[in-house]
Amino acid sequence: DIVMTQSPDSLAVSLGERATINCKSSQSVLNSSNNKNYLAWFQQKPGQPPKLVVYWASTRDSGVPDRLSGSGSGTDFTLTISNLQAEDVAVYYCQQYYTTPWTFGQGTKVEI
């Protein structure tokens, strides 16, 4: 199974500042045949289901503010929240869909 490891487990960021969340996979999730990284990021607020933020490692889902951005390739990925707003407070999960079983990181809690 591919193990997804996020860091840090939690971070506190001031309003307007930048939050950076890292995600490392135990093996590459890059498909060399189409050059796509099979990596998604989800945002989960208390009492709500996860919400897709980024897929293919760097494609923002519809309606997601452009202050949230994904980057990385192979085994190392980053979700960056620029200009942090109060509504960005949540737990963020990375997830690989390269191979089953699909696996998630343990989550990173972002606080103000």
Backbone CA torsion sign across 85, 61, 3, 37: negative
Instruction: Tell me the per-residue interface mask from 65 to 94 with another protein, x by CB under 8 A, - otherwise.
Output: ----------------------------x-
Task: Determine contact, residues 68/60, Cβ cutoff 8 Å.
Answer: yes
H/E run at residue 76: strand 76-81
Our CB check for another protein shows the closer of 70 and 84 to be 70
Interface with another protein, residue 107, by CB under 8 A: yes
Give Cβ neighbours of residue 27 (< 8 Å, ≥ 6 apart). 2, 75
Residue list 49-68, contact with another protein (CB under 8 A): 49-52, 55-56, 61
Residues of this chain that interact with another protein (CB under 8 A) are 38, 40, 42, 48-52, 55-56, 61, 93, 95, 97, 100-107
